[in-house]
């Protein structure tokens, strides 16, 4: 729904629509000329630099964010290094 509304907000009419769970699969379809995709900038930086893909701005499209949460298993042992530092930012020594 978010992707479709971004196109509609920009005045783009979709004849067909496919939603994919894989960024890599979407990139391959675009590279093969099978359509367009809304992808994170960071995921296509190399392709844009190599000119195998182009970045196009959709006027009027809302900003889109995708938040991901990762959870550490309690039986995974004591957090160390960067993991321990990040978890302490979340609250407490073990992130609880």
pLDDT at residue 80 tops 80: yes
pLDDT bracket for residue 92 (50, 70, 90): low
Give the DSSP letter string of 32-78. Answer: TTS------GGGSHHHHHTTSS-----TTPPP----------GGG--
This prediction has a pTM of 0.55
pLDDT single digits (tens) 18-76: 888 899 999 999 889 888 888 888 999 999 999 989 888 777 766 767 666 666 778 88
The structural domain count of the chain equals 2
| pLDDT at residue 47, rounded to an integer | 92
Examine the domain organization and report whether 44 and 8 are in the same domain. Answer: yes
| pLDDT at residue 44, rounded to an integer | 92
- Tell me whether residue 72 is in a domain: yes
- Tell me whether residue 92 is in a domain: yes
Q: Which of 59, 60, 19, 26 is nearest to 40 (CA)?
A: 26
């Amino acid at each position: 729904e978010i992707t479709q509304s971004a196109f509609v907000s920009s005045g783009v009419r979709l004849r067909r629509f496919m939603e994919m769970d894989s960024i890599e699969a979407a990139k391959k379809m675009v590279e093969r000329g099978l359509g367009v995709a809304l992808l994170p900038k960071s995921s296509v930086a190399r392709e844009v630099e190599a000119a195998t893909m182009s970045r196009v701005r959709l006027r009027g499209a809302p900003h889109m964010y995708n938040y991901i949460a990762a959870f550490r298993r309690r039986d995974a042992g004591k957090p160390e290094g960067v993991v321990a530092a990040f978890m302490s930012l979340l609250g407490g020594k073990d992130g609880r």
